[in-house]
Structure 1
Amino acid sequence: MKLTKKESFVTWIVRLLLLVWTVAVVYPLVWTLLSSLKDNKQFYGNKPWALPDFPLIWSNFSYVWTEYKFAGYFFNSVTVTLASTALALLLSAMTAYVIARFPFKGSNFLYFIYVSAMMIPLILSLIPLFFLLDSLHLTNNILGLILVYSAGALPFGIFVLVSFYKSLPKEMEEAAAIDGSSEAGTFFRIMLPLSRPGLITVAIMNILTIWNEYILGTIIMNDPMQKIYTLPVAIAVMQGEMQYRTEWGPLFAALVISMIPIIILYSVFQKQITGGITAGAVK
């Protein structure tokens, strides 16, 4: 089908805007990677935006990994992210299933409360949350951070999964009940696997959020003696420890280390992310 001149012009404008947006997103990532292969002389020699000189300084990565103990911080982030995501998925799936399939008096209000929680700024809850965790002896504790992240991820997970469970036919549950399956068995064996697109979408969005979270990590893990930081907090602490002489190459190398897992994750599961969000919107 041949496009009119007006449609062709609009298509060209859209493509141009998408190209500009792509450059705006990709360029900082490329610049960060190139900057991680430089030394301080190149930064202070009027070359912060130029390509790195040869030979490339790959030792910045090993220097950060060993001298600044980024191996431990990386493991902390992986542990917190995976544990928080798994716990949030389980709780949000169970809650969404009950709200969607077993409506009771006040279920709509409960759903409204969960959805409304997404509109509350995080900064408003920092002080009471810190005192609550401190009274429970969960500050400077990986478990406390996992519980907070899991609770924070519940509203979005419930919002997405309720629409999935409402769209599934009730005949499957009735057939499972005739076969003697309990309600818990029906949920874990039938309904949970069927909600896989929504679960993948929620899981990846939670991983992206938790992996990059900084404020709560700084407030809860605030003991410099223990140094049980996650990567975003560790990068900020690393810059502070450099004091008056910032080592720009290692600092950018630390940023690259923190970005690589998320870039790989999004590249692998980008179809599932867009597909899950679209499916949830349609349903």
Structure 2
Amino acid sequence: MAAIKFLAKLTVRIPLLIWSVIVVFPIIWMFLGAFKTNAEIFRSPWSLPETFNVGNFVSAWTDFNIGTAFMNTLFVTVLGTVLCLIFAIPTSYALDRIRFKGSDVLLNLYLSSMMIPAVLGWIPLFFLLMKLNMLDNLVALSLVYAVSHIPFTIFILVSFMGTVPRELEEAASIDGMSPYGILLKIVTPLVKSGIITASILNAISFWNEYFMALILLQTDSKNTLGVQMDLISTNAQYNSAWGVLFAGLTIAVIPVIIFYSMFQRHIVKGMTEGAVKG
């Protein structure tokens, strides 16, 4: 019996191990390539670097404007995440707690908008921002990010809002607390897991976003990491700046890996609680 259980576990773990190697190996290869010279990359692309030289990182950060793109990406990610929460938290509360004619239709409209491909709105959005003189603006890009993820954030938060006992809100209301005070001081702390989960997923999505930044930003000094890495990739093909490219990719990827590793438990906990409570 023990042998059968061992074989059953083995049949599951071996494919997972193989898949893990397939996923992790390119990341390790990229990381090692960041410390190699161009000659080493062409001569022995799969070997370890002869010396771990950080010159590629310095060149990527300064000469290829990765430093500026990094700060731009950090700015739009933080601002977009905060704006999304500012819009989505009161909306989720209103849709769950305030019953009015058409509230269910409005909620379903929000949720169904997640099924619409974002590419359909790129051209109208471009002309709208152009008329408002908001092209090539990092704040406008952050606002676009925030609005685009409001339905997803509402989808997560509504299930958490529904678990907050109404008796707590009624008691706070009797004590004279305003509806905004109830939302901020009573409800929001109780749905902290959902807020953290939505914030982490949104932040990772904003950090990795490419197409909207490519369309809405027109000045090189305002490029985000996705756009700047595309420029470096094109440059590497003609100037053999492969080491710099790998260094730039490493700089772009490491914060996401660290961020996800730190908050992985919160993501799993939040999604599990949302699924059970919802």
The TM-score bracket by the shorter chain reads: over 0.9
Find the counterpart in structure 2 of residue 37 from structure 1. Answer: 35
Gaps of 5+ in 1: none
Alpha-carbon shift at residue 252 of structure 1 (Å): 0.5
User: 1:25 aligned to 12, 15, 23, which one?
Assistant: 23
Alpha-carbon shift at residue 73 of structure 1 (Å): 1.2
Find the counterpart in structure 1 of residue 265 from structure 2. Answer: 271
Structure 1 residues 132, 3: CA separation in 2 closer, same or farther (over 3 Å shift)? farther
Find the counterpart in structure 2 of residue 190 from structure 1. Answer: 186
Name the CA distance, whole Å, in 2 between partners of 1:10 and 1:158.
40
Residues 197 and 267 of structure 2 are in contact (CA less than 8 Å); yes or no, is this contact kept in structure 1? yes
User: 2:225 aligned to 231, 240, 252, which one?
Assistant: 231
User: 2:46 aligned to 49, 61, 76, which one?
Assistant: 49
Name the CA distance, whole Å, in 1 between partners of 2:226 and 2:119.
18
Residues 239 and 246 of structure 1 are in contact (CA less than 8 Å); yes or no, is this contact kept in structure 2? no
Cα distance per residue 1:237-282 (max 9 Å; x no partner): 2233456123111110000001111111111111000000000000
Alpha-carbon shift at residue 21 of structure 1 (Å): 2.3
Name the CA distance, whole Å, in 2 between partners of 1:228 and 1:239.
18
The letter of the residue matching 1:239 is: S
The letter of the residue matching 1:37 is: F
The letter of the residue matching 1:13 is: T
1:236-247 residue pairs with structure 2 within 5 A? 236-242=230-236, 244-247=238-241
Find the counterpart in structure 2 of residue 156 from structure 1. Answer: 152
Find the counterpart in structure 1 of residue 87 from structure 2. Answer: 91
Is 2:164 aligned against 1:168? yes
1:76-225 residue pairs with structure 2 within 5 A? 76-224=72-220
Alpha-carbon shift at residue 49 of structure 1 (Å): 2.0
Name the CA distance, whole Å, in 1 between partners of 2:24 and 2:3.
33
Name the CA distance, whole Å, in 1 between partners of 2:184 and 2:52.
52
Is 2:244 aligned against 1:250? yes
The letter of the residue matching 1:38 is: K
SS of 1:244's partner is helix
Residues 85 and 206 of structure 1 are in contact (CA less than 8 Å); yes or no, is this contact kept in structure 2? yes
Gaps of 5+ in 2: none
Name the CA distance, whole Å, in 2 between partners of 1:23 and 1:172.
50
Alpha-carbon shift at residue 9 of structure 1 (Å): 3.0
Once the two structures are overlaid, the 10-residue window that deviates more, 119-128 or 156-165, is 119-128
SS of 2:162's partner is helix
Is 2:259 aligned against 1:262? no
- Equivalences, count: 277
Name the CA distance, whole Å, in 2 between partners of 1:201 and 1:241.
37
SS of 2:238's partner is coil
Name the CA distance, whole Å, in 2 between partners of 1:219 and 1:17.
40
Cα distance per residue 1:12-65 (max 9 Å; x no partner): 2111122122212221211110010111111222x2222222x22211111111
Give runs of ≥4 in structure 1 deviating > 4 Å.
Answer: none
The letter of the residue matching 1:260 is: I
Percent identity over paired residues: 42
Structure 1 residues 4, 96: CA separation in 2 closer, same or farther (over 3 Å shift)? farther
